[in-house]
Every structure is written in structure tokens, then in C-alpha cells.
């Protein structure tokens, strides 16, 4: 990060404080990136991103003001600071709730530079494009029933510098990438999709942890296998969820309900539930931005708070929500490092980072052996979640019938539905094979990188049905 730009951020904070605000923070963000998508043999997208900007936020008598700019010059910074102040004062003059922010549980200054083993620049754009083309060829060569394909490579280098009037100052540089493959197979009018992805924070070494051609082959294999699948069994079953589906469940159905802004607005089933039982004693849930290598790794949030990991559920008991500076101050607790924004032009919201069910004590083999008759649900295609009512529907990518601990028949177009807390209460066993999946999470039209994770888990009395 150029020192001149950091000096502008420091000066902007002083400008806001001189205007008499109750709180202010200034965030300098630089993002460089590349996105390549090859679909059906054609380059659908080849896009560079190189943006840098400043975000100015202030609080006056309970009213927030927020502005941003990409014009990093003194006059524009002065204009933006004054505009943010005027917005805050206009809102604050009519505000009944006079908010005061506080934070005392984190280091005043933090700096993290994540150095990749193999820099992203070690591979040319032409080589990355060729990799995507090769992934497509791999999917098409897997079977002549694979009719349509897509391969995506996306990388970023995120450099942030944040200062605020509470004395927090943070700076970090984090690179990362994600690779995605989609294959559509058809036969006799039936079309099925296979999807795989891999990514994290770091450099090109991530492509060696799971090779792009293996990702492509796995996507094609899924699509082909689903063509021969049967219809799912309707009714309630003991169900094993694989790490991907269990991770999606804990992120979508439970994680969002743990976001304190939703709790405060009355939009969460978990309102007033801290210190109460919300799940089986087998279940421990965490959100931890400090986990290096995962796609949701964030050394400090968009408010400058260093997150060291939050235990949301400890052996079935709800321990904490996820917080920003505002929500933690309203609830009289400490922030958790979950105030995140997409880019410099967005206001921070309470967002997840790396959210997961922690590993249990039994092996995957023991988990399956405990199920005489049930179903094994893998992956997630899409779904619906209502955090306020605690209801969800997830279409799983694949579902197998289980007899005597063995998956015996593949089913397609299966959906799991129910009540979030009921499912958590019905968790009978958690395996020790914790794994993670990268993704993007949307909230109020902002998208941030996250990771969901879980071991295999066994849940009784899950409602299974068909979903086109």
C-alpha cells in the first residue's frame, strides 16, 4: 500500500474528528484481480480488476454518514469527509437512539502480509486461460453425454488499511483464488448438472492441493452418475449429511441467524437465545476469520477489528452472536471481527467468515455403520432459508439410500427441508473429518468471500422429498 494513500486516510480521520463527530473510521482498500470464464468452448469473460478507494464513515448523535471515493486527492477527501458529516448530522438530529461505540478486546495495531508459496504472477494470463480450456476438454472427453461445460478461474489480491477514532489501526495484504467447474450431461431428455470448486487464500500452490483437471473430472462424473439416478424416497429418514451439505446448512440456515444485526431487527429465530440449548450436545459451531488458507480468511474486518474466532455454539448451547462495532455496542458485548463490506464503496454489515461445525469424535466409517437404514445427502445445488422463522429447504446434489451402513442407490433431485433448531437438536453423531468449501455469500446486495465447513454428521428424522 502506498504510504501517500495511507497518509490521506490518516488525515481524513483527523478531518472527521475536527468536525466534532462521535466516532469515525476511514478505510483504504486496493483490490487487484482477474476472472476468466470459458463456457462451451468460448471465452465468456476475461476481466481484470484494479481498483483503489477510500471509505469514510462517521457517527453523529446516533446517525451514520457514509461516503466513498476513488479520487485520492486532498480536495476530494475533504469534500467526502464533509459530506459524510452532513449526512450523519441530518440523520442524528432526528435520531431517538444515541449510540455510543466501544471496543476494548483487540490489539490497537495489527499488520498481516500473507506471503504465498507461489505468487499468482508466476502463471501468465495466457496460461490461466489455457488451464480453463483444458478443464473444459477434460469434462467433454469424460463422456459424449456431457453436452455443456463451464470453467472459471478467479484470483484476487486484497490490500486494506483501516483507522478509527477508537484507536484501532489495521493493515493486511491477502491474495487468493478459486477454480470452478460445471458440467451438464443429458440423455433421453433428462439434463443433470455436476459442479465442483476449490480455492482459498494463498497463491498458485492452491492448484496443487487439488488439481484443476481433477476438479473438472469430478464435475463431469457427477453429472453422468446422476443420469442413472432414481427418484428420492419421500418421508422422514435418518440422514447423513456430507461436509459440503452440512457446511451449507450451518452457514445458510444457522449462521445468518447468528448475525447480530438480524437479531436486533427481530429477523432471527435466535433472538434472546444466548445461553440456551439450540442443538445436540454433539454440536459445536464456530466462525473464525483467522484461519489462514481458507477462502474466508480476513486478518481484520472492515472496521479494523481483529477477529480471533467466535464459538457460536458450544456443545449445543448458544454462546454468542457475530458482531460489528455497532451491534456489539448495542448489546453490551465485544465485537467479534465480523463487520465486513464488499469493496470500498459499501457500508460494513455483520457477515460470516469461515463458519463451520467443529469436528466430533467418531470416524466416518463408524458414522455409517451406525445407520441401518437411511439416506446419505451430498452437496447443495440451491435452497431457501428464512432466518426469522428458522425454516429451510435445500436441494442436495446427490442422495443415496443407505442399508446396513452402505450407500446402495443414487437418487436425484432430492430436497431436505425442516426447522433449523429441530435439525440441530436431532444431530446424533459428528465425525472427525472436518473439511471446508469456498464460496461467496450475499447480503443486502453485497458479496464477500466465505468458507463453510463441517465433518459428516448424522441427523434423525429429516424430511426428504423431490425437487425439480
Asked whether residue 59 falls in the same domain as residue 149, the answer is no
What pLDDT digit, counting tens, does each position of 291-321 carry?
A: 999 999 999 999 999 999 999 999 999 999 9
Band of pLDDT at residue 347, cut at 50, 70 and 90: very high
**Cβ(438)–Cβ(448) below 8 Å:** no
Asked whether residue 347 falls in the same domain as residue 387, the answer is yes
Q: Which residues contact 332 (CB under 8 A, 6 or more apart)?
A: none
Maximum separation of any 2 CA atoms in the chain, in Å: 73
Asked whether residue 290 falls in the same domain as residue 425, the answer is yes
**Domain membership flag for residue 329:** yes
259: cell is: 448475525
Alpha-carbon span 248 to 256, nearest angstrom: 11
7: cell is: 497518509
Q: Is the pLDDT of residue 147 over 90?
A: yes
Could you identify the residue written with the cell 434423525?
Answer: 460
- Lowest mean pLDDT of 96-100, 117-121, 152-156, 354-358, name the range: 96-100
* Backbone torsions φ then ψ of 315, nearest 5 degrees: 50, 45
Asked whether residue 282 falls in the same domain as residue 420, the answer is yes
**Domain membership flag for residue 148:** yes
Asked whether residue 441 falls in the same domain as residue 375, the answer is yes
For residue 105, the model assigns a pLDDT of 55
Asked whether residue 330 falls in the same domain as residue 364, the answer is yes
Asked whether residue 307 falls in the same domain as residue 323, the answer is yes
User: Higher model confidence: residue 356 or residue 61?
Assistant: 356
Domain count, the chain: 3
Range of the domain at 389: 235-466
For residue 129, the model assigns a pLDDT of 98
Q: Is the pLDDT of residue 466 over 80?
A: no
**Cβ(441)–Cβ(454) below 8 Å:** no
**Cβ(347)–Cβ(341) below 8 Å:** yes
342: cell is: 464488499
Alpha-carbon span 36 to 140, nearest angstrom: 19
**Domain membership flag for residue 292:** yes
**Domain membership flag for residue 43:** no
For residue 103, the model assigns a pLDDT of 78
Q: What is the mean pLDDT of residues 157-186?
A: 96
Asked whether residue 203 falls in the same domain as residue 280, the answer is no
Alpha-carbon span 390 to 267, nearest angstrom: 10
**Domain membership flag for residue 197:** yes
**Domain membership flag for residue 284:** yes
Buried b (16+ CB within 10 A) or exposed e, 343-355: bbbbebbbbbbbb
Asked whether residue 246 falls in the same domain as residue 346, the answer is yes
What pLDDT digit, counting tens, does each position of 236-290 carry?
A: 999 999 999 999 999 999 999 999 999 999 999 999 999 999 999 999 999 999 9
Asked whether residue 429 falls in the same domain as residue 328, the answer is yes
**Which residue intervals of 94-166 are DSSP H helices?**
125-142
% of the chain with per-residue pLDDT over 90: 91
Q: Is the pLDDT of residue 440 over 80?
A: yes
Band of pLDDT at residue 118, cut at 50, 70 and 90: very high
Give the CATH number, domain containing residue 144. Answer: 3.30.2290.10
**Cβ(291)–Cβ(297) below 8 Å:** yes
**Domain membership flag for residue 40:** no
Band of pLDDT at residue 96, cut at 50, 70 and 90: confident
Alpha-carbon span 148 to 142, nearest angstrom: 12
* Backbone torsions φ then ψ of 35, nearest 5 degrees: -130, 125
Provide, for the chain, the percentages of residues in helix, strand and coil under a 3-state DSSP scheme, each rounded to the nearest 5.
25, 40, 35
For residue 106, the model assigns a pLDDT of 59
**Domain membership flag for residue 42:** no
For residue 108, the model assigns a pLDDT of 67
**Cβ(155)–Cβ(125) below 8 Å:** no
Tell me the three state secondary structure of residue 67. Answer: strand
**Which residue, of 199, 227, 255, is where some domain finishes?**
227
Residue 273's CB: how many other CB atoms inside 10 A? 17
Distance from chain centroid for Cα 81 = 31
The dihedral of CA 198, 200, 206, 209: what is its sign?
Answer: negative
329: cell is: 455496542
What pLDDT digit, counting tens, does each position of 367-425 carry?
A: 999 999 999 999 998 888 999 999 999 999 999 999 999 999 999 999 999 999 999 99
As beta bridge partners, residue 66 has 57
| Angle subtended by helix axes 212-227 and 125-142, to nearest 10 | 30
Asked whether residue 444 falls in the same domain as residue 322, the answer is yes
What's the whole-model pTM score? 0.95
**Which residue, of 177, 200, 227, is where some domain finishes?**
227
As beta bridge partners, residue 356 has 286, 453
User: Higher model confidence: residue 95 or residue 132?
Assistant: 132
Q: Is the pLDDT of residue 197 over 80?
A: yes
**Which residue, of 178, 211, 227, is where some domain finishes?**
227
For residue 109, the model assigns a pLDDT of 76
Asked whether residue 412 falls in the same domain as residue 375, the answer is yes
305: cell is: 477489528
Amino acid at each position: 500500500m502506498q504510504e501517500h494513500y495511507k497518509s490521506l486516510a490518516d488525515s481524513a480521520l483527523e478531518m472527521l474528528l475536527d468536525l466534532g463527530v462521535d466516532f469515525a473510521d476511514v478505510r483504504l482498500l486496493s483490490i487487484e484481480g482477474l476472472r476468466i470464464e470459458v463456457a462451451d468452448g468460448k471465452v465468456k469473460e476475461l476481466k481484470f480488476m484494479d481498483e483503489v478507494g477510500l471509505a469514510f464513515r462517521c457517527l453523529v448523535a446516533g446517525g451514520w454518514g457514509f461516503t466513498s471515493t476513488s479520487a485520492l486527492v486532498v480536495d476530494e477527501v475533504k469534500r467526502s469527509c464533509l459530506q459524510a458529516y452532513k449526512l450523519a448530522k441530518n440523520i442524528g438530529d432526528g435520531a431517538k437512539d444515541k449510540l455510543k461505540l466501544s471496543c476494548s478486546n483487540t490489539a490497537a495495531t495489527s499488520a498481516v502480509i500473507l506471503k504465498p508459496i507461489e505468487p499468482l504472477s508466476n502463471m501468465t494470463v495466457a496460461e490461466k486461460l489455457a488451464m480453463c480450456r483444458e478443464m473444459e476438454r477434460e469434462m467433454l472427453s469424460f463422456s459424449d453425454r456431457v453436452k455443456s461445460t463451464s470453467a472459471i478461474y478467479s484470483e484476487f489480491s486484497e490490500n486494506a488499511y483501516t483507522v478509527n477514532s477508537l484507536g484501532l489501526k489495521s493493515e493486511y495484504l491477502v491474495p487468493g483464488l478459486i477454480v470452478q467447474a460445471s458440467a451438464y450431461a443429458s440423455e433421453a431428455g433428462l439434463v443433470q448438472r455436476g459442479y465442483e470448486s476449490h480455492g482459498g487464500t494463498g497463491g498458485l500452490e492452491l492448484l496443487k492441493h487439488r488439481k484443476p483437471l481433477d476438479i473438472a473430472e469430478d464435475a463431469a462424473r457427477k453429472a453422468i452418475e446422476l443420469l442413472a439416478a432414481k427418484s428420492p424416497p419421500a418421508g422422514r429418514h435418518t440422514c447423513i449429511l456430507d461436509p459440503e451439505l452440512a457446511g451449507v446448512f450451518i452457514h445458510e440456515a444457522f449462521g445468518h441467524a447468528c448475525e447480530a444485526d438480524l437479531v436486533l431487527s427481530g429477523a432471527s429465530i435466535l433472538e434472546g437465545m444466548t445461553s440456551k440449548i439450540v442443538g445436540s450436545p454433539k454440536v459445536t459451531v464456530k466462525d473464525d476469520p483467522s484461519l489462514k488458507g481458507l477462502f474466508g480468511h480476513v486478518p481484520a474486518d472492515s472496521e479494523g477489528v481483529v477477529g480471533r474466532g467466535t464459538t457460536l455454539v458450544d456443545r449445543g448451547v448458544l454462546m454468542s452472536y457475530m458482531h460489528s462495532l455497532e451491534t456489539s455496542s448495542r448489546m453490551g458485548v465485544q465485537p467479534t471481527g465480523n463487520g465486513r463490506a464488499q469493496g470500498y464503496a459499501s457500508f460494513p454489515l455483520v457477515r460470516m467468515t469461515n463458519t463451520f461445525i467443529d469436528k466430533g469424535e467418531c470416524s466416518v466409517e463408524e458414522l455409517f455403520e451406525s445407520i441401518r437404514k437411511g439416506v446419505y445427502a451430498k452437496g447443495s445445488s440451491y435452497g431457501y432459508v428464512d432466518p426469522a422463522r428458522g425454516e429451510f429447504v435445500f436441494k442436495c446434489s446427490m442422495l443415496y439410500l443407505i442399508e446396513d451402513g452402505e450407500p446402495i442407490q443414487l437418487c436425484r433431485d432430492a430436497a431436505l427441508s425442516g426447522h433449523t433448531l429441530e435439525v440441530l437438536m436431532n444431530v446424533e453423531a459428528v465425525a472427525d473429518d472436518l473439511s471446508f468449501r469456498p464460496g461467496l455469500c450475499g447480503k443486502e446486495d453485497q458479496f464477500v468471500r466465505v468458507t463453510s465447513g463441517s465433518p459428516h454428521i448424522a441427523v434423525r428424522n429429516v424430511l426428504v422429498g423431490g425437487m425439480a
